[in-house]
Amino acid sequence: QSVLTQPPSASGTPGQRVTISCSGGSSNSGSNTVNWYQQLPGTAPKLLIYNYDQRPSGVPDRFSGSKSGTSASLAISGLQSEDEADYYCAAWDDSLNGALFGGGTKVTVL
């Protein structure tokens, strides 16, 4: 289906590991790469992970990505207060011939 599904929220204490899932279908995450974006409050989105598991220069290695079937995951290890943000997955959808975003996951550091 032409939808990317993310949990609306995730939380953890400083130092913990948090994982966010992104579930799609054969026309999007199953056949095209999934990228992840971090949006800090009041700012534009920032590329966090591309091609499922690649980090752009400057992104800390506590952020990692993976893929399994038609799903992708973003993990934040060693959670820090500055990681409190909204996280979005995105993938091209061949049926729509356009880009899809997941609904976003708000990460809270307790």
Partner 1 sequence: VQLVQSGAEVKKPGASVKVSCKASGYTFTSYYIHWVRQAPGQGLEWMGIINPSRGSASYAQKFQGTVTMTRDTSTTTVYMELTRLTSEDTALYYCARGTVGTFWDYWGQGTLVNVSS
The residue ranges that bind partner 1 (CB under 8 A) are: 32-35, 37, 39, 44-47, 50-51, 56, 86, 88, 90-92, 96-104
- Quote the least distance from Cβ 37 to partner 1, whole Å: 8
- Quote the least distance from Cβ 80 to partner 1, whole Å: 23
In this complex, which beta carbon is closest to partner 1, that of residue 53 or of residue 77? 53
- The answer to whether residues 87 and 21 touch, using CB atoms and an 8 Å cutoff, is no
- Quote the least distance from Cβ 106 to partner 1, whole Å: 10
Query: Rounded to 5, what percent of the chain is helix, strand, coil?
Result: 5, 50, 45
In this complex, which beta carbon is closest to partner 1, that of residue 99 or of residue 110? 99
Residue carrying the six token digits 């934040």:
76
The type of residue at 12 is G
- The answer to whether residues 4 and 90 touch, using CB atoms and an 8 Å cutoff, is yes
